[in-house]
Amino acid sequence: MLNRLAGLETEYAIRYRPADEPSRLSRFRLYQRLVGAVRQVVLTVRAHHFKEGVFTANGGAIWFESERPAGGAGLIEGSTPECRGPRQLVAYQRAQDRLVARAAAAAGVEGDFGLIKVDRDAQGNVFGAQENYDVPIARGWRLWAWRAGLIGLFPFVLLSWAGFGLLILMLLAYLGAAGMVYMAFRRLAREPRALALALFGRDLVEGRETGAPTPAWVESIVLNATRVLSAPLAIALFVHCRLFAFREIRRGLTAFLASRCVVSGSGYVDMAGNFQLADKAPAMNCLVGFGGFLRDRPVYTMGHFFKTLCVECVFSPRAFASLFAPRQRLQIALGDSNMCEISEWLKVGTTMFVLDAIEAGVLRKAPVLRNPIPAFRAFAADAGMDHAVALRGGRTASALDLQRYYLDACRRFARHHPATSREAVDLLECWERTLDAITAWTSRPPSERSSAAPLVGVLDWATKRYLLDQLGDGVSWAQRKKVDLRYHELSEEGYFHQLVTAGVVTRVVTDEEVERAVRVAPPDSPATMRGHFLREFGDAEIWLGVNWRTVTLGRGRGAKVVRLDRYHDESGRRTTKPRRPRRASPDRS
């Protein structure tokens, strides 16, 4: 129970005001400064991945996330290592927050530089906070249909690869033509450097990695061409995922996720000045999607399958074979970025509990929302928590009603489970206690509802609402929004940090556990082996390539590739313990 691999991905908004405009750094340069400061705290190795990033000694990673780096876009993303159990995951998320906050303060950036762990900024831009859980992708005939469909998708994969190859050849031809144009016109141009930047981009002109490998206009053309070339595969994969991927789990989990905002919502002052329980739910526009391919913001993100087929399979046929495994990564993009540890513990812990119950067949008759996307938005906007949405079968239910249903189902499941852990019991008690406190608060007349005092320092939306109420009446939207955003600021000036210092916040993990999680990988996880090899060989002369699936020692034909799914699992699913690389079997793929 509660013993499944899980991880969190968090996109941090960048707060940056340079000391003077000539000294302004690009977002990629800010990322480089941050990573440089991280290296002063823990050992890091550059990620052997298709995007810029580093893995740290605890098995987690820090990334520069951007679709258009040449246009100046980008943000910093942190990924926790793969953890087991909600409390462990909270500890590693807190370790990640602490590490990047310290690095931002020590980055040596002239001016004001920091990170904000928030899902919406003042302009309404949306940042990601994604949860990942190891679950069965399908069972029975649906599993075989999923596998057969993957084989049927392979012609689309080959078509995409052929298109990408043609696009690479066209880029090489363009560089050759651009070189001739530059040689012909550089003496006529008033600013040869500006001409070179327009033709080649900063990387080639400056001879170093700047985050802008091509000019912005070339980048735009390449991105749009990539979308067109991969559209047949994307459409076919979308239909396939919608029909077969996580079908049973999506049916039992969706109503729970919609109502989960009452315990895990971070609170949000919207553009109209209204207070909402959650800031991510209003941005969701579909249940299943790839997450940005066609401006989609799905609840269940299948983008990792798309990336595997489009990119990873080119370099490793084993990546394609991994998609046939009965268990896959379920990625949920609905949740908020939490500051309160209880909020985050309840978010991931209750979700793991519900997933356990679904796998055990306890939730076959779980409530199903008639219109999921409007329900997400209605619950998030329902600060009084009395709005009911329609369910299939003609019934209606509020968010609290649904949470009570799932709590009761998980309690019955735990009662008959042969291995109910201490954390599971504590989690159920905390879940019930929190729902009771919310119910007591909502039962008061609206005129008597001041801040939900018993929940301050426990739940994010209640804590933020308390801070907003301290402003009084008649304050401007800008003042309320400032409180909204500074609550999430990862610095000593951040409002949540000040509440922690004042002893107002209820803790789940200790400072000692967080400090250990900064440097040491969690046990019984692929991250255990990743962290082991990183510590053993991160400073060695041998080349080390690290990603989520493998660790590669050395280059060329003599390279040793260690698969990270060969970790020791107490449940008995895996029995191969981590080994020294000299004994690891080579994997040429």
What digits encode the pLDDT tens for the residues 402-452? 999 999 999 999 998 888 889 999 999 999 999 999 998 888 776 666 666
How high is the pLDDT of residue 451? Answer: 63
Q: What tokens appear for 529 in the block? A: 């082996």
Quick one: average pLDDT of 177-194? Answer: 87
C-alpha angle 160-308-250 in degrees, rounded to nearest 5 = 115
What CA–CA distances, in Å, run from 569 to 53, 225, 344, 500, 522? Answer: 28, 44, 25, 36, 12
Q: Alpha carbon 172 to chain centroid distance?
A: 34
Residues 9, 78: contact at Cβ < 8 Å? yes
Q: Is the pLDDT of residue 460 over 90?
A: yes
Residue with tokens 């509660």: 2
Ramachandran region, residue 164 (left: φ > 0; alpha: ψ -120 to 50; beta: rest): alpha
How high is the pLDDT of residue 558? Answer: 81
Range picked from 189-193, 217-221, 294-298 for highest mean pLDDT: 217-221
Q: Alpha carbon 516 to chain centroid distance?
A: 22
φ, ψ at 84 (rounded to 5°): -125, 120
pLDDT band (50, 70, 90) for residue 495: very high
pLDDT band (50, 70, 90) for residue 589: very low
How high is the pLDDT of residue 237? Answer: 95
Residues 120, 337: Cα–Cα separation, whole Å:
10
Average pLDDT taken over every residue of the chain: 89
Q: Is the pLDDT of residue 550 over 70?
A: yes
Q: Is the pLDDT of residue 576 over 50?
A: no
Q: Alpha carbon 577 to chain centroid distance?
A: 29
How high is the pLDDT of residue 572? Answer: 40
Residues 127, 11: contact at Cβ < 8 Å? yes
Q: Is the pLDDT of residue 571 over 60?
A: no
pLDDT band (50, 70, 90) for residue 216: confident
How high is the pLDDT of residue 581? Answer: 36
Q: Which residues contact 356 (CB under 8 A, 6 or more apart)?
A: 1, 2, 4, 410, 413
Quick one: average pLDDT of 273-289? Answer: 91
How high is the pLDDT of residue 579? Answer: 37
Handedness of CA 14, 15, 21, 25 (dihedral sign): negative
How high is the pLDDT of residue 449? Answer: 64
The 10s digit of each residue's pLDDT in 46-94 is 998 878 999 999 999 999 988 777 777 889 999 999 999 999 999 999 9
Helical (H) or strand (E) element with 32: helix 27-39
Q: Is the pLDDT of residue 97 over 90?
A: yes
Quick one: average pLDDT of 126-149? Answer: 95
How high is the pLDDT of residue 60? Answer: 96
Quick one: average pLDDT of 146-162? Answer: 94
Q: Which of 387-396, 439-448, 474-483 has the lowest mean pLDDT?
A: 439-448
Q: What tokens appear for 407 in the block? A: 């709590």
Residues 582, 360: Cα–Cα separation, whole Å:
41
φ, ψ at 584 (rounded to 5°): -75, 140
Q: Which of 332, 331, 334, 242 is nearest to 283 (CA)?
A: 334
Quick one: average pLDDT of 472-483? Answer: 91
How high is the pLDDT of residue 583? Answer: 34
Q: What tokens appear for 358 in the block? A: 């679904």
Quick one: average pLDDT of 82-111? Answer: 95
Q: Which residues contact 294 (CB under 8 A, 6 or more apart)?
A: 227, 234
pTM > 0.85: yes
φ, ψ at 490 (rounded to 5°): -90, 75
Q: What does 518-532 look like in DSSP terms, one character per residue?
A: HHSPPSSSHHHHHHH
How high is the pLDDT of residue 447? Answer: 63
Residues 400, 253: Cα–Cα separation, whole Å:
15
Percent of the chain at pLDDT exceeding 90: 67
The 10s digit of each residue's pLDDT in 331-373 is 999 989 999 999 999 999 999 999 999 999 999 999 999 999 9
φ, ψ at 270 (rounded to 5°): -80, 180
How high is the pLDDT of residue 574? Answer: 44
Quick one: average pLDDT of 10-36? Answer: 91
